Amino acid sequence: MFYIMAALTKPRHGYAIMNLIEETSKGTITIGPASMYTIIKKLLDKEWIYLYDASDSRRKTYFLTDAGRTVLREDVTLRKMMIELAETGLGEDEE
């Protein structure tokens, strides 16, 4: 869910979301269409994203809502704290 929300800080359609995540992670993370659209449905239901443009029935474009941006910011903050904790612990191993 995090990766999809991060990809939707700009309006994107499904294929662009999958490509951005795969390219950004250098192929480490891939999301298939079934998983992605299941997550998109959940994000729509929570009103964290919305259908930005449906003019092309084959390429629906999605975008974060203000609530979605808030959730993403909170998640980023939490992930930064988790990374800091791990880096501190790993740094202690090197002493």
pLDDT in tens, 57-76: 888 999 999 999 999 999 99
Note down the domain range covering 69. 2-93
**Residue 80, amino acid:** K
pLDDT at 93: 67
Read off the pTM.
0.87
> In this structure, what DSSP letter does residue 57 have?
T
Query: Residue 55 is part of a domain; what is its CATH number?
Result: 1.10.10.10
pLDDT tens for 1-58 read 999 999 999 999 999 999 999 999 999 999 999 999 999 999 999 999 999 998 888 8
CB 24 within 8 A of CB 2: no
Query: How many domains does the chain divide into?
Result: 1
Q: Single out the residue of 69, 2, 65 nearest to residue 36, CA to CA.
A: 2
Give yes or no for residue 91 having a pLDDT over 90: no
- What CA–CA distance (Å, rounded) separates 83 from 77? 10
